[in-house]
Structure 1
Amino acid sequence: MRVGFAGTPEFAAVALQALLEAGFTVPLVLTQPDRPAGRGMKLSPSPVKQLALSRGIAVSQPRSLRLDGRWPEEAACGREALEAAGCDVLVVAAYGLILPAWVLTHPRLGCLNIHASLLPRWRGAAPIHRAIEAGDERTGIAIMQMDEGLDTGAVITAETQPIGPQDTTASLHDRLAAQGGRLIVSVLQRAAQGQPLAAQPQPAQGVCYAHKIEKGEAHIDWRLPADQLERRVRAFDPFPGASFACRGEVVKVWQARVLPGVGAEPGTVVQAEAGTVVVACGSGALALETVQRPGGRRMPVQAWLHALEQGGAALRGECLTGA
Protein backbone atom coordinates (compact mmCIF):
# COMPACT_ATOMS: atom_id res chain seq x y z
CA MET A 1 0.00 0.00 0.00
CA ARG A 2 1.26 3.45 -0.96
CA VAL A 3 0.47 5.91 1.85
CA GLY A 4 0.65 9.64 1.26
CA PHE A 5 1.04 11.75 4.38
CA ALA A 6 -0.02 15.32 5.21
CA GLY A 7 1.05 16.84 8.53
CA THR A 8 3.22 19.48 10.10
CA PRO A 9 4.03 19.46 13.88
CA GLU A 10 5.56 16.87 16.19
CA PHE A 11 2.17 15.19 16.73
CA ALA A 12 2.12 14.36 13.01
CA ALA A 13 5.79 13.37 12.90
CA VAL A 14 5.12 10.66 15.49
CA ALA A 15 2.43 9.18 13.24
CA LEU A 16 4.68 9.33 10.17
CA GLN A 17 7.43 7.55 12.09
CA ALA A 18 4.96 4.83 13.11
CA LEU A 19 3.91 4.29 9.49
CA LEU A 20 7.52 4.00 8.34
CA GLU A 21 8.43 1.60 11.15
CA ALA A 22 5.43 -0.54 10.20
CA GLY A 23 6.86 -0.90 6.70
CA PHE A 24 4.40 1.20 4.71
CA THR A 25 5.66 2.85 1.54
CA VAL A 26 5.33 6.64 1.86
CA PRO A 27 6.05 8.21 -1.55
CA LEU A 28 5.03 11.78 -0.68
CA VAL A 29 4.71 14.09 2.29
CA LEU A 30 2.70 17.32 2.28
CA THR A 31 3.59 19.80 5.00
CA GLN A 32 3.32 23.52 5.76
CA PRO A 33 5.94 25.90 4.30
CA ASP A 34 9.00 26.58 6.45
CA ARG A 35 8.31 29.18 9.17
CA PRO A 36 10.52 31.69 11.01
CA ALA A 37 11.50 30.33 14.42
CA GLY A 38 13.93 31.00 17.27
CA ARG A 39 15.51 34.26 18.32
CA GLY A 40 17.06 34.75 14.90
CA MET A 41 13.69 34.07 13.23
CA LYS A 42 15.34 31.90 10.60
CA LEU A 43 13.19 29.77 8.34
CA SER A 44 12.85 26.33 9.92
CA PRO A 45 11.36 23.15 8.46
CA SER A 46 8.51 21.44 10.25
CA PRO A 47 9.16 18.27 12.27
CA VAL A 48 7.39 16.29 9.54
CA LYS A 49 9.60 17.75 6.81
CA GLN A 50 12.73 17.02 8.80
CA LEU A 51 11.71 13.38 9.23
CA ALA A 52 10.68 13.00 5.59
CA LEU A 53 13.96 14.40 4.27
CA SER A 54 15.95 12.16 6.61
CA ARG A 55 14.18 9.16 5.07
CA GLY A 56 14.50 10.34 1.46
CA ILE A 57 10.78 11.02 1.00
CA ALA A 58 9.60 13.62 -1.52
CA VAL A 59 8.16 16.74 0.16
CA SER A 60 5.66 19.26 -1.21
CA GLN A 61 4.89 22.51 0.68
CA PRO A 62 2.10 24.44 -1.05
CA ARG A 63 0.54 27.32 0.85
CA SER A 64 -2.84 26.15 -0.42
CA LEU A 65 -4.34 23.19 -2.22
CA ARG A 66 -7.30 25.15 -3.60
CA LEU A 67 -6.94 25.38 -7.36
CA ASP A 68 -9.24 28.43 -7.42
CA GLY A 69 -7.65 30.07 -4.36
CA ARG A 70 -4.97 32.64 -3.67
CA TRP A 71 -2.02 30.47 -4.76
CA PRO A 72 -3.32 28.42 -7.73
CA GLU A 73 0.17 27.68 -9.05
CA GLU A 74 1.25 26.16 -5.73
CA ALA A 75 -1.99 24.18 -5.55
CA ALA A 76 -1.37 22.87 -9.06
CA CYS A 77 2.13 21.76 -8.02
CA GLY A 78 0.62 19.97 -5.03
CA ARG A 79 -1.86 18.21 -7.28
CA GLU A 80 0.89 17.18 -9.67
CA ALA A 81 2.90 15.76 -6.77
CA LEU A 82 -0.10 13.77 -5.48
CA GLU A 83 -0.88 12.39 -8.91
CA ALA A 84 2.73 11.37 -9.44
CA ALA A 85 2.88 9.66 -6.03
CA GLY A 86 0.05 7.26 -6.87
CA CYS A 87 -1.17 7.05 -3.27
CA ASP A 88 -3.81 4.52 -2.24
CA VAL A 89 -4.66 6.64 0.80
CA LEU A 90 -3.69 10.00 2.28
CA VAL A 91 -3.16 10.07 6.05
CA VAL A 92 -3.70 13.54 7.55
CA ALA A 93 -2.53 14.64 11.01
CA ALA A 94 -2.48 18.28 12.13
CA TYR A 95 -1.68 19.42 8.60
CA GLY A 96 -3.02 22.96 8.97
CA LEU A 97 -4.56 23.36 5.50
CA ILE A 98 -8.15 22.76 4.41
CA LEU A 99 -8.34 19.90 1.92
CA PRO A 100 -10.57 20.66 -1.08
CA ALA A 101 -12.81 18.05 -2.67
CA TRP A 102 -10.29 17.04 -5.31
CA VAL A 103 -7.80 15.98 -2.61
CA LEU A 104 -10.42 14.12 -0.54
CA THR A 105 -11.49 11.98 -3.49
CA HIS A 106 -8.13 11.53 -5.22
CA PRO A 107 -6.71 8.48 -3.36
CA ARG A 108 -8.47 5.14 -3.80
CA LEU A 109 -9.26 4.94 -0.06
CA GLY A 110 -9.74 8.66 0.42
CA CYS A 111 -8.18 10.68 3.25
CA LEU A 112 -7.95 9.42 6.84
CA ASN A 113 -7.50 11.92 9.65
CA ILE A 114 -5.86 11.27 13.02
CA HIS A 115 -7.82 13.52 15.38
CA ALA A 116 -6.92 14.04 19.04
CA SER A 117 -10.38 13.85 20.58
CA LEU A 118 -13.37 11.55 20.87
CA LEU A 119 -15.46 13.04 18.08
CA PRO A 120 -17.82 14.82 17.94
CA ARG A 121 -16.42 16.41 21.09
CA TRP A 122 -13.71 18.97 20.36
CA ARG A 123 -13.74 19.36 16.64
CA GLY A 124 -11.27 22.01 15.52
CA ALA A 125 -7.73 23.24 16.01
CA ALA A 126 -6.99 22.76 19.74
CA PRO A 127 -8.73 19.61 21.04
CA ILE A 128 -6.03 18.70 23.58
CA HIS A 129 -5.92 22.16 25.17
CA ARG A 130 -9.69 22.52 25.32
CA ALA A 131 -10.27 19.08 26.85
CA ILE A 132 -7.95 19.93 29.76
CA GLU A 133 -9.35 23.44 30.13
CA ALA A 134 -12.91 22.09 30.29
CA GLY A 135 -12.02 19.56 32.97
CA ASP A 136 -12.77 16.49 30.83
CA GLU A 137 -11.82 13.25 32.54
CA ARG A 138 -11.04 11.49 29.27
CA THR A 139 -10.24 12.15 25.66
CA GLY A 140 -8.71 9.95 22.97
CA ILE A 141 -7.92 9.43 19.30
CA ALA A 142 -10.43 9.12 16.49
CA ILE A 143 -9.47 7.88 13.01
CA MET A 144 -11.90 9.63 10.69
CA GLN A 145 -12.79 9.29 7.00
CA MET A 146 -12.50 12.92 5.97
CA ASP A 147 -15.25 14.84 4.20
CA GLU A 148 -15.58 18.52 3.29
CA GLY A 149 -16.78 19.54 6.77
CA LEU A 150 -14.60 20.54 9.71
CA ASP A 151 -13.89 17.23 11.48
CA THR A 152 -17.36 16.00 10.56
CA GLY A 153 -16.43 12.76 8.79
CA ALA A 154 -17.48 9.26 9.80
CA VAL A 155 -15.30 7.58 12.45
CA ILE A 156 -13.53 4.33 11.56
CA THR A 157 -12.18 3.65 15.03
CA ALA A 158 -11.64 5.49 18.32
CA GLU A 159 -9.79 4.76 21.54
CA THR A 160 -10.00 6.60 24.84
CA GLN A 161 -7.20 8.14 26.90
CA PRO A 162 -7.68 9.26 30.54
CA ILE A 163 -6.81 12.82 31.51
CA GLY A 164 -5.03 12.85 34.86
CA PRO A 165 -5.26 15.66 37.44
CA GLN A 166 -1.63 16.62 36.73
CA ASP A 167 -1.78 16.34 32.93
CA THR A 168 -0.65 19.29 30.86
CA THR A 169 -1.13 19.76 27.14
CA ALA A 170 2.50 18.66 26.73
CA SER A 171 2.12 15.37 28.63
CA LEU A 172 -1.26 14.51 27.10
CA HIS A 173 0.00 15.44 23.62
CA ASP A 174 2.81 12.91 23.82
CA ARG A 175 0.51 10.05 24.86
CA LEU A 176 -2.07 10.90 22.21
CA ALA A 177 0.58 11.21 19.49
CA ALA A 178 1.83 7.69 20.23
CA GLN A 179 -1.73 6.41 20.41
CA GLY A 180 -2.59 8.02 17.07
CA GLY A 181 0.41 6.44 15.38
CA ARG A 182 -0.52 3.00 16.69
CA LEU A 183 -4.18 3.31 15.65
CA ILE A 184 -3.51 4.51 12.10
CA VAL A 185 -1.06 1.65 11.57
CA SER A 186 -3.71 -0.81 12.76
CA VAL A 187 -6.35 0.65 10.44
CA LEU A 188 -4.06 0.60 7.40
CA GLN A 189 -2.88 -2.93 8.11
CA ARG A 190 -6.51 -4.05 7.99
CA ALA A 191 -7.03 -2.14 4.75
CA ALA A 192 -3.89 -3.68 3.24
CA GLN A 193 -5.38 -7.13 3.96
CA GLY A 194 -8.49 -6.18 2.01
CA GLN A 195 -10.76 -5.61 5.01
CA PRO A 196 -13.34 -2.85 4.48
CA LEU A 197 -12.89 0.33 6.52
CA ALA A 198 -16.38 0.50 8.00
CA ALA A 199 -17.09 3.97 9.41
CA GLN A 200 -19.87 5.22 11.66
CA PRO A 201 -21.36 8.72 11.20
CA GLN A 202 -20.78 11.03 14.14
CA PRO A 203 -23.77 11.63 16.42
CA ALA A 204 -25.46 15.00 16.15
CA GLN A 205 -25.35 15.48 19.93
CA GLY A 206 -22.29 16.48 21.94
CA VAL A 207 -20.55 18.61 19.33
CA CYS A 208 -17.97 21.04 20.74
CA TYR A 209 -15.63 23.33 18.82
CA ALA A 210 -12.01 23.61 19.99
CA HIS A 211 -11.07 27.16 19.02
CA LYS A 212 -7.44 27.93 18.29
CA ILE A 213 -5.51 29.07 21.37
CA GLU A 214 -4.88 32.83 21.33
CA LYS A 215 -2.10 34.48 23.31
CA GLY A 216 -4.57 36.80 25.00
CA GLU A 217 -6.28 33.85 26.69
CA ALA A 218 -3.17 33.27 28.78
CA HIS A 219 -3.72 36.42 30.86
CA ILE A 220 -4.93 35.25 34.25
CA ASP A 221 -8.24 36.75 35.32
CA TRP A 222 -8.19 36.26 39.08
CA ARG A 223 -11.96 36.82 39.23
CA LEU A 224 -12.44 33.33 37.78
CA PRO A 225 -12.75 30.27 40.04
CA ALA A 226 -9.46 28.80 41.20
CA ASP A 227 -10.18 25.35 39.75
CA GLN A 228 -10.81 26.87 36.31
CA LEU A 229 -7.56 28.83 36.48
CA GLU A 230 -5.61 25.74 37.55
CA ARG A 231 -6.94 23.87 34.52
CA ARG A 232 -5.90 26.75 32.29
CA VAL A 233 -2.40 26.66 33.73
CA ARG A 234 -2.13 23.04 32.64
CA ALA A 235 -3.95 23.56 29.32
CA PHE A 236 -1.62 26.40 28.30
CA ASP A 237 1.56 24.44 29.02
CA PRO A 238 3.73 24.65 26.92
CA PHE A 239 1.98 27.42 24.92
CA PRO A 240 1.20 30.21 25.55
CA GLY A 241 1.68 29.84 29.32
CA ALA A 242 -0.75 31.34 31.86
CA SER A 243 0.63 34.69 33.06
CA PHE A 244 0.11 37.64 35.38
CA ALA A 245 1.84 40.97 36.01
CA CYS A 246 3.86 41.62 39.15
CA ARG A 247 6.05 44.68 39.76
CA GLY A 248 6.42 45.48 36.10
CA GLU A 249 7.19 41.90 35.03
CA VAL A 250 5.13 39.31 33.22
CA VAL A 251 5.36 36.11 35.25
CA LYS A 252 4.22 32.77 33.84
CA VAL A 253 2.68 30.09 36.04
CA TRP A 254 3.46 26.49 35.10
CA GLN A 255 2.13 24.69 38.15
CA ALA A 256 -0.46 25.64 40.76
CA ARG A 257 -2.66 24.02 43.38
CA VAL A 258 -6.27 24.83 44.32
CA LEU A 259 -6.99 25.86 47.91
CA PRO A 260 -10.21 26.82 49.73
CA GLY A 261 -11.45 30.39 49.61
CA VAL A 262 -9.71 33.04 51.69
CA GLY A 263 -12.21 35.93 51.69
CA ALA A 264 -10.01 38.46 49.92
CA GLU A 265 -10.27 40.52 46.74
CA PRO A 266 -9.42 38.40 43.67
CA GLY A 267 -5.76 38.82 42.73
CA THR A 268 -4.67 39.64 46.29
CA VAL A 269 -1.59 37.81 47.56
CA VAL A 270 -2.83 36.45 50.90
CA GLN A 271 0.25 34.43 51.76
CA ALA A 272 3.87 34.98 50.74
CA GLU A 273 6.18 33.35 53.23
CA ALA A 274 7.92 30.03 53.88
CA GLY A 275 8.27 29.50 50.15
CA THR A 276 4.51 29.72 49.54
CA VAL A 277 2.55 32.21 47.44
CA VAL A 278 -1.24 32.03 47.65
CA VAL A 279 -3.48 34.28 45.54
CA ALA A 280 -7.19 34.85 46.09
CA CYS A 281 -9.49 34.02 43.17
CA GLY A 282 -13.17 34.59 42.37
CA SER A 283 -13.83 31.44 44.38
CA GLY A 284 -11.10 29.53 46.14
CA ALA A 285 -7.41 30.41 45.90
CA LEU A 286 -4.35 29.33 43.94
CA ALA A 287 -1.09 28.28 45.54
CA LEU A 288 1.58 29.01 42.94
CA GLU A 289 4.20 26.27 42.75
CA THR A 290 6.29 26.75 39.58
CA VAL A 291 6.77 30.11 37.83
CA GLN A 292 8.99 31.75 35.22
CA ARG A 293 10.33 35.30 35.02
CA PRO A 294 11.00 37.02 31.66
CA GLY A 295 14.11 35.57 30.02
CA GLY A 296 14.54 32.99 32.76
CA ARG A 297 13.79 29.34 33.29
CA ARG A 298 11.00 27.67 35.20
CA MET A 299 11.69 27.82 38.92
CA PRO A 300 10.06 26.79 42.21
CA VAL A 301 7.95 29.61 43.58
CA GLN A 302 10.16 29.85 46.68
CA ALA A 303 13.11 30.90 44.46
CA TRP A 304 10.98 33.62 42.87
CA LEU A 305 9.74 34.77 46.27
CA HIS A 306 13.29 34.89 47.60
CA ALA A 307 14.35 37.09 44.68
CA LEU A 308 11.47 39.47 45.36
CA GLU A 309 12.22 39.64 49.07
CA GLN A 310 15.80 40.62 48.28
CA GLY A 311 14.33 43.58 46.42
CA GLY A 312 12.84 44.92 49.64
CA ALA A 313 9.05 45.18 49.79
CA ALA A 314 7.02 42.15 50.89
CA LEU A 315 4.70 40.56 48.33
CA ARG A 316 1.87 39.81 50.73
CA GLY A 317 -1.06 42.17 50.30
CA GLU A 318 -0.19 43.14 46.72
CA CYS A 319 -2.84 42.80 44.04
CA LEU A 320 -1.71 40.92 40.94
CA THR A 321 -3.21 41.62 37.54
CA GLY A 322 -3.48 39.77 34.24
CA ALA A 323 -0.32 40.13 32.14
Structure 2
Amino acid sequence: MSIKLNDKVITILKANQPNKLSSKEIATKIAKRYKAQLKKKIKESKNVSNEKELIIQLTREISSRTPLIQKKCEYVKIIEGPPRHFYYNELSENQEIAELEKEKSKIPIPLEADLYPLLSEYLFVRHEVFSKRINEKKSKNSRGKNGNKWLHPDIVGFENLSKNWCKEVIECSKAHYDKNAQMWSFEIKRLLNSSNVREAYFQTISNSSWANQSYLVAAEISGLSTLKELQILSSAHGVGVILLNVSTPTESQILIPARENKKVDWDSCNRLATENPDFNTYIKEIRKFYQTGETVENFWDYFQTPLDD
Protein backbone atom coordinates (compact mmCIF):
# COMPACT_ATOMS: atom_id res chain seq x y z
CA MET A 1 0.00 0.00 0.00
CA SER A 2 1.95 2.99 -1.30
CA ILE A 3 0.59 5.90 0.73
CA LYS A 4 3.85 7.06 2.34
CA LEU A 5 2.73 5.50 5.60
CA ASN A 6 5.90 6.36 7.53
CA ASP A 7 5.43 10.07 6.81
CA LYS A 8 1.78 9.92 7.84
CA VAL A 9 2.63 8.22 11.14
CA ILE A 10 5.16 10.95 11.94
CA THR A 11 2.63 13.67 11.02
CA ILE A 12 -0.05 12.14 13.26
CA LEU A 13 2.32 11.76 16.21
CA LYS A 14 3.62 15.31 15.83
CA ALA A 15 0.07 16.68 15.69
CA ASN A 16 -0.92 14.73 18.81
CA GLN A 17 2.14 15.34 21.01
CA PRO A 18 2.66 14.69 23.88
CA ASN A 19 0.03 11.93 23.71
CA LYS A 20 1.20 8.33 23.44
CA LEU A 21 -0.70 6.37 20.80
CA SER A 22 -0.92 2.66 19.98
CA SER A 23 -0.57 1.40 16.41
CA LYS A 24 -4.34 1.01 16.18
CA GLU A 25 -4.95 4.55 17.45
CA ILE A 26 -2.50 5.94 14.89
CA ALA A 27 -4.12 3.89 12.11
CA THR A 28 -7.57 5.16 13.10
CA LYS A 29 -6.39 8.78 13.03
CA ILE A 30 -4.70 8.27 9.66
CA ALA A 31 -7.91 6.79 8.25
CA LYS A 32 -9.85 9.81 9.50
CA ARG A 33 -7.34 12.49 8.44
CA TYR A 34 -6.64 11.08 4.97
CA LYS A 35 -10.11 9.68 4.30
CA ALA A 36 -10.36 10.75 0.64
CA GLN A 37 -6.92 9.39 -0.26
CA LEU A 38 -7.48 6.10 1.54
CA LYS A 39 -10.96 5.67 0.09
CA LYS A 40 -9.29 5.55 -3.32
CA LYS A 41 -6.80 2.98 -2.02
CA ILE A 42 -9.63 0.78 -0.72
CA LYS A 43 -11.25 0.89 -4.13
CA GLU A 44 -8.00 -0.12 -5.85
CA SER A 45 -6.95 -2.73 -3.28
CA LYS A 46 -7.45 -6.48 -3.61
CA ASN A 47 -6.82 -7.05 0.12
CA VAL A 48 -9.19 -4.61 1.83
CA SER A 49 -12.79 -3.78 1.04
CA ASN A 50 -13.79 -1.33 3.78
CA GLU A 51 -12.39 1.13 6.33
CA LYS A 52 -12.41 -1.42 9.17
CA GLU A 53 -10.21 -3.82 7.21
CA LEU A 54 -7.98 -0.92 6.18
CA ILE A 55 -7.39 0.09 9.82
CA ILE A 56 -6.46 -3.51 10.68
CA GLN A 57 -3.92 -3.59 7.82
CA LEU A 58 -2.51 -0.16 8.72
CA THR A 59 -2.15 -1.25 12.36
CA ARG A 60 -0.10 -4.28 11.33
CA GLU A 61 2.08 -2.25 8.97
CA ILE A 62 2.77 0.44 11.57
CA SER A 63 3.86 -2.20 14.09
CA SER A 64 6.17 -3.89 11.59
CA ARG A 65 7.66 -0.59 10.42
CA THR A 66 8.72 0.67 13.85
CA PRO A 67 12.51 0.60 13.12
CA LEU A 68 12.01 2.34 9.74
CA ILE A 69 9.80 5.05 11.25
CA GLN A 70 12.33 5.75 13.99
CA LYS A 71 15.16 5.78 11.45
CA LYS A 72 13.26 8.35 9.37
CA CYS A 73 12.52 10.58 12.39
CA GLU A 74 14.64 10.46 15.54
CA TYR A 75 11.92 12.25 17.50
CA VAL A 76 9.53 9.31 17.24
CA LYS A 77 9.90 7.28 20.42
CA ILE A 78 8.19 4.20 21.74
CA ILE A 79 7.00 2.88 25.06
CA GLU A 80 7.04 -0.91 25.27
CA GLY A 81 3.55 -2.34 25.82
CA PRO A 82 1.44 -4.21 25.79
CA PRO A 83 0.44 -2.65 23.53
CA ARG A 84 3.44 -0.70 22.27
CA HIS A 85 2.83 3.06 22.19
CA PHE A 86 4.43 5.74 20.02
CA TYR A 87 4.96 9.41 20.78
CA TYR A 88 6.75 12.46 19.35
CA ASN A 89 9.30 14.27 21.52
CA GLU A 90 12.20 16.46 20.39
CA LEU A 91 13.98 16.24 23.76
CA SER A 92 17.04 14.03 24.07
CA GLU A 93 16.64 11.09 26.43
CA ASN A 94 18.77 12.85 29.06
CA GLN A 95 16.57 15.93 28.74
CA GLU A 96 13.46 13.77 28.93
CA ILE A 97 14.56 12.32 32.27
CA ALA A 98 15.41 15.80 33.59
CA GLU A 99 12.08 17.18 32.38
CA LEU A 100 10.24 14.30 34.01
CA GLU A 101 11.81 15.15 37.36
CA LYS A 102 11.29 18.91 36.93
CA GLU A 103 7.70 18.84 35.68
CA LYS A 104 6.30 16.09 37.91
CA SER A 105 2.85 17.63 38.18
CA LYS A 106 2.49 17.94 34.37
CA ILE A 107 3.60 14.46 33.35
CA PRO A 108 0.90 11.73 33.37
CA ILE A 109 3.15 9.26 35.18
CA PRO A 110 2.66 8.83 38.94
CA LEU A 111 5.42 9.84 41.32
CA GLU A 112 7.74 7.00 42.28
CA ALA A 113 6.20 6.88 45.76
CA ASP A 114 2.77 6.40 44.16
CA LEU A 115 4.04 3.29 42.40
CA TYR A 116 4.85 1.40 45.60
CA PRO A 117 1.26 0.40 46.52
CA LEU A 118 0.57 -0.50 42.88
CA LEU A 119 3.49 -2.93 42.86
CA SER A 120 2.40 -4.34 46.23
CA GLU A 121 -1.07 -5.03 44.86
CA TYR A 122 0.31 -6.75 41.77
CA LEU A 123 2.72 -8.90 43.79
CA PHE A 124 0.03 -10.13 46.15
CA VAL A 125 -2.78 -10.69 43.63
CA ARG A 126 -0.71 -12.27 40.87
CA HIS A 127 2.13 -13.96 42.77
CA GLU A 128 0.93 -14.25 46.39
CA VAL A 129 4.03 -12.33 47.48
CA PHE A 130 3.69 -10.16 50.58
CA SER A 131 5.64 -6.90 50.35
CA LYS A 132 6.99 -4.14 52.58
CA ARG A 133 8.28 -0.65 51.78
CA ILE A 134 11.84 0.11 52.92
CA ASN A 135 12.21 3.80 53.79
CA GLU A 136 15.85 4.75 53.33
CA LYS A 137 15.30 8.02 55.23
CA LYS A 138 15.06 5.98 58.44
CA SER A 139 18.61 4.64 58.07
CA LYS A 140 21.40 5.63 60.45
CA ASN A 141 23.70 6.91 57.68
CA SER A 142 26.59 6.13 60.03
CA ARG A 143 29.08 5.88 57.17
CA GLY A 144 28.79 9.47 56.03
CA LYS A 145 27.75 10.97 52.71
CA ASN A 146 27.17 8.31 50.02
CA GLY A 147 28.08 5.59 52.52
CA ASN A 148 24.72 3.94 51.85
CA LYS A 149 24.45 4.78 48.16
CA TRP A 150 22.53 2.05 46.33
CA LEU A 151 22.12 0.11 49.56
CA HIS A 152 18.34 0.23 49.99
CA PRO A 153 15.77 -1.53 47.83
CA ASP A 154 12.45 0.27 47.46
CA ILE A 155 10.35 -2.77 48.37
CA VAL A 156 11.10 -6.22 49.77
CA GLY A 157 8.88 -9.27 49.52
CA PHE A 158 8.14 -12.63 51.07
CA GLU A 159 6.65 -15.70 49.40
CA ASN A 160 5.41 -18.66 51.43
CA LEU A 161 6.21 -21.68 49.27
CA SER A 162 4.58 -24.07 51.73
CA LYS A 163 1.15 -22.42 51.91
CA ASN A 164 -0.53 -25.36 50.16
CA TRP A 165 1.59 -28.12 51.70
CA CYS A 166 0.19 -30.60 54.19
CA LYS A 167 1.60 -30.61 57.73
CA GLU A 168 3.68 -33.76 57.21
CA VAL A 169 5.47 -32.30 54.17
CA ILE A 170 6.14 -29.02 55.97
CA GLU A 171 7.69 -30.83 58.93
CA CYS A 172 9.71 -33.07 56.61
CA SER A 173 11.11 -30.06 54.74
CA LYS A 174 12.12 -28.49 58.06
CA ALA A 175 13.90 -31.67 59.11
CA HIS A 176 15.90 -31.59 55.88
CA TYR A 177 16.53 -27.83 56.17
CA ASP A 178 14.87 -27.24 52.81
CA LYS A 179 13.54 -23.75 52.26
CA ASN A 180 9.81 -23.19 52.30
CA ALA A 181 9.91 -19.46 51.55
CA GLN A 182 11.53 -17.01 49.16
CA MET A 183 12.72 -13.46 49.71
CA TRP A 184 12.17 -10.88 46.96
CA SER A 185 13.62 -7.39 46.41
CA PHE A 186 12.65 -4.55 44.05
CA GLU A 187 13.96 -1.23 42.72
CA ILE A 188 11.28 0.99 41.14
CA LYS A 189 11.67 3.64 38.42
CA ARG A 190 9.08 5.83 36.74
CA LEU A 191 10.78 5.73 33.34
CA LEU A 192 13.59 3.71 31.79
CA ASN A 193 15.25 4.81 28.56
CA SER A 194 18.67 4.37 26.98
CA SER A 195 19.98 7.27 29.07
CA ASN A 196 19.33 5.79 32.51
CA VAL A 197 18.79 2.05 31.98
CA ARG A 198 22.30 0.85 32.87
CA GLU A 199 22.50 3.02 35.98
CA ALA A 200 19.08 1.82 37.15
CA TYR A 201 19.96 -1.81 36.48
CA PHE A 202 23.26 -1.73 38.36
CA GLN A 203 21.55 0.11 41.21
CA THR A 204 19.15 -2.84 41.40
CA ILE A 205 22.05 -5.30 41.40
CA SER A 206 23.59 -3.36 44.29
CA ASN A 207 20.49 -3.13 46.48
CA SER A 208 18.51 -6.24 45.55
CA SER A 209 20.70 -9.12 44.34
CA TRP A 210 20.96 -10.46 47.92
CA ALA A 211 17.43 -11.89 47.54
CA ASN A 212 16.19 -15.13 45.99
CA GLN A 213 14.35 -13.04 43.39
CA SER A 214 15.39 -9.49 42.42
CA TYR A 215 13.60 -7.17 39.98
CA LEU A 216 13.91 -3.75 38.38
CA VAL A 217 10.38 -2.34 38.02
CA ALA A 218 9.37 0.49 35.66
CA ALA A 219 6.12 2.29 34.86
CA GLU A 220 7.40 3.01 31.35
CA ILE A 221 10.17 1.55 29.20
CA SER A 222 11.05 3.78 26.25
CA GLY A 223 12.65 2.41 23.10
CA LEU A 224 13.56 -0.94 21.58
CA SER A 225 17.21 -0.31 22.41
CA THR A 226 16.30 0.02 26.10
CA LEU A 227 14.53 -3.32 26.15
CA LYS A 228 17.43 -4.94 24.28
CA GLU A 229 19.88 -3.52 26.82
CA LEU A 230 17.77 -4.92 29.67
CA GLN A 231 17.80 -8.36 28.03
CA ILE A 232 21.60 -8.26 27.71
CA LEU A 233 22.04 -7.13 31.32
CA SER A 234 19.58 -9.69 32.67
CA SER A 235 21.28 -12.49 30.78
CA ALA A 236 24.58 -11.51 32.40
CA HIS A 237 23.44 -10.64 35.93
CA GLY A 238 20.07 -12.31 36.54
CA VAL A 239 18.00 -9.36 37.78
CA GLY A 240 14.54 -9.51 36.19
CA VAL A 241 12.34 -6.73 34.79
CA ILE A 242 8.69 -5.93 35.54
CA LEU A 243 6.60 -3.48 33.51
CA LEU A 244 4.12 -1.95 35.95
CA ASN A 245 0.63 -1.16 34.64
CA VAL A 246 -0.28 1.99 36.57
CA SER A 247 -3.94 1.99 35.55
CA THR A 248 -4.55 -1.72 36.26
CA PRO A 249 -1.73 -3.00 38.52
CA THR A 250 -2.84 -6.63 38.36
CA GLU A 251 -2.20 -6.57 34.59
CA SER A 252 1.48 -5.72 35.09
CA GLN A 253 3.95 -8.04 33.37
CA ILE A 254 7.21 -9.77 34.09
CA LEU A 255 9.05 -8.91 30.87
CA ILE A 256 12.22 -10.73 31.89
CA PRO A 257 12.08 -13.36 34.66
CA ALA A 258 14.70 -13.09 37.39
CA ARG A 259 17.28 -15.83 37.72
CA GLU A 260 16.64 -17.43 41.10
CA ASN A 261 19.36 -17.28 43.72
CA LYS A 262 19.26 -20.54 45.67
CA LYS A 263 20.78 -18.88 48.73
CA VAL A 264 20.15 -15.50 50.32
CA ASP A 265 23.23 -13.29 50.76
CA TRP A 266 23.00 -12.93 54.55
CA ASP A 267 26.02 -10.61 54.75
CA SER A 268 24.16 -8.08 52.61
CA CYS A 269 21.03 -8.63 54.70
CA ASN A 270 23.03 -7.92 57.85
CA ARG A 271 24.40 -4.71 56.34
CA LEU A 272 20.86 -3.55 55.61
CA ALA A 273 19.34 -4.76 58.88
CA THR A 274 21.92 -2.99 61.04
CA GLU A 275 21.45 0.24 59.09
CA ASN A 276 17.70 0.38 58.47
CA PRO A 277 14.88 -0.34 60.98
CA ASP A 278 12.34 -1.20 58.26
CA PHE A 279 14.57 -3.92 56.88
CA ASN A 280 15.39 -5.13 60.39
CA THR A 281 11.67 -5.55 61.09
CA TYR A 282 11.26 -7.38 57.77
CA ILE A 283 13.99 -9.86 58.76
CA LYS A 284 12.31 -10.37 62.14
CA GLU A 285 9.07 -11.24 60.35
CA ILE A 286 10.88 -13.78 58.15
CA ARG A 287 12.46 -15.31 61.26
CA LYS A 288 9.07 -15.63 62.95
CA PHE A 289 7.73 -17.43 59.90
CA TYR A 290 10.56 -19.96 59.98
CA GLN A 291 9.97 -20.49 63.69
CA THR A 292 6.16 -20.74 63.64
CA GLY A 293 5.16 -21.29 60.02
CA GLU A 294 2.67 -18.43 60.39
CA THR A 295 2.38 -15.16 58.48
CA VAL A 296 1.07 -12.00 60.16
CA GLU A 297 -0.84 -10.59 57.21
CA ASN A 298 -1.48 -7.11 58.59
CA PHE A 299 2.28 -6.53 58.91
CA TRP A 300 2.55 -6.33 55.13
CA ASP A 301 1.66 -3.38 52.91
CA TYR A 302 -1.02 -5.23 50.92
CA PHE A 303 -3.11 -8.29 51.63
CA GLN A 304 -6.65 -9.47 50.98
CA THR A 305 -8.73 -11.75 53.13
CA PRO A 306 -10.29 -14.44 50.91
CA LEU A 307 -14.07 -14.21 50.51
CA ASP A 308 -16.17 -16.99 52.00
CA ASP A 309 -17.49 -19.52 49.50
Same fold (TM over 0.5): no
Scaled to the shorter chain, the TM-score interval is under 0.3
More relative contact order, 1 or 2 (CA 8 Å, 6+ apart): 2
Higher strand share: 1
TM-score by length of 1: 0.26
